[in-house]
Structure 1
């Protein structure tokens, strides 16, 4: 039976890291794997597909990235993979593919041994056990299954929100604020809004500060620092600003918001908006839930 060696797995991982290092904001896992496949020559065994779907190559790489995550080299967030500073340093220091992967496996084993339910250590990784064919016998299989399901779910949710009518999306944000116990006193109708789409207060009478001013942008591109400053210009001394944008914010805009001394401003990207929606879902009205209905599905908790 064909096997995937540690060196071969390390080659995959080092090339994957090179791809991700060129994308500081991270890449979707599917996109990163597609680019990786175009940069390496797959053997017939690696390129072969499972009856259940998916190439063996992709399962091998996903399996090996579990070690990298627990090593602190790689972060996975709703299907977006990005390299940490520790991962950047490891990639620069461990140029030998086998040494690179072995170090990740060692760090994974150390993490696993430190868990309360730690068991006797098993043979590490697909390198010694025939690659992804043995994933099912390892706790890492649960992590891989879970992350692939999360990626697919998030991709669908993201597309749904990105395609929502802008004014419907604006009302979704207002519904969320109500579920968070804020009183929404005004939602901008279609047309010019003067830079404020929603206004809310901590109390129904508007007697308690701060007043909350919200700008909502349903767009693909990230908000620049100039766009952020335009919104901050409409904030008074007693206001808190919430800037919601599906396209996120540039690094400069994030730094500007973080270092503000006179203006209180919170930036909410698509991921944070969804997390808040999920967190407060039980407090949403039935009408609000229809804007973004969710249903929980149970998975075996990842332990690897």
Structure 2
């Protein structure tokens, strides 16, 4: 059976960068794979399943993405993939230059680990043992992240709103206002650096808990309209993510606004977890475990 061509692998790698670009710069590895499958429609050859487990195109893509990381275009952290500024710029490169850059970075990485420099599908077989630990590590991160996400998705909107307020308290903010059930005027949580809001920044937070749908430009515009005084920052927290139009509106708005999707929320929750009160921790209790990490 024929292997995947270098041109086809390059198509997958460029699509990874484009998908991350269109989703505001980050996305879970699981979602990236889903998007790749929907866009590039793997053929029969690419869907071949190895006897040892795993689908050809996914294994080739995951290993080939090492080149994206080594080129400084992609970062992987706890099951989430992030595009860098250099990665954004790589979208302007011609396919041949794009591939040559990745190949060179991969060669440097392989030589530093005393691996044979191989290409295409042979790359997967040659480096399978060396990469096994890395893939297991990433899979463990993905599984843990998905378990946390599934728990959050099952919360009702007010439970998720309380979770967001708890996060900001863990980050050192006071939350004098958390919207009660009913109309909230577009603001769900207000966060201050001091008890009375004398210091900047003063944050107005809009919480959207629609796990199966992304929020669009109108939601962003609604928050922007509430930021009519100096010293106020708007943050939109969306468990379902953001449409490209929403991301563009946030970036180009004359008001200071930031976005937080579910991946970002979980990362911040983990980062500030130990600073939270016991009561707030119980809203989303976590336990750290140790896992043998791959060598970089």
Bucket of the pairwise TM-score, normalised by the shorter protein: 0.7 to 0.9
Among candidates 199, 202, 215, match of residue 206 of structure 2: 215
Give the aligned partner of residue 28 of structure 1: 31
TM-score by length of 1: 0.75
Among candidates 180, 187, 201, match of residue 189 of structure 1: 180
Gaps of 5+ in 2: none
* In the alignment, structure 1 residue 303 sits paired with structure 2 residue 271: no
- 1:91-240 to 2 correspondence within 5 Å? 92-93=95-96, 100=99, 104-111=102-109, 118-119=112-113, 121-125=114-118, 131-132=124-125, 134-136=127-129, 138=130, 140-219=131-210, 220-238=212-230, 239-240=232-233
Q: Which runs of 4+ in 1 moved over 6 A?
A: none
1:138-194 residue CA offsets vs partner (Å, 9 max, x unmatched): 2x3333222222222222222222221110111111111111121111211111111
CA displacement at 1:17 relative to structure 2? 3.9
Q: Higher Cα Rg: structure 1 or 2? A: 1
What is the alpha-carbon distance in structure 2 between the residues aligned to residue 297 and residue 266 of structure 1? 31
Alignment check: 8 A CA contact 2:206 2:223 kept: yes
Provide the secondary structure at the position in 2 that maps to 1:39: coil
Higher mean alpha-carbon deviation, 126-135 vs 237-246, is at 126-135
What is the alpha-carbon distance in structure 2 between the residues aligned to residue 176 and residue 21 of structure 1? 30
* In the alignment, structure 1 residue 10 sits paired with structure 2 residue 20: no
Give the aligned partner of residue 50 of structure 2: 48
What is the alpha-carbon distance in structure 2 between the residues aligned to residue 75 and residue 13 of structure 1? 19
TM-score by length of 2: 0.77
The number of equivalent residue pairs is 284
Give the aligned partner of residue 247 of structure 1: 240
CA displacement at 1:63 relative to structure 2? 2.2
Alignment check: 8 A CA contact 2:137 2:294 kept: yes
Gaps of 5+ in 1: none
Give the aligned partner of residue 289 of structure 1: 281
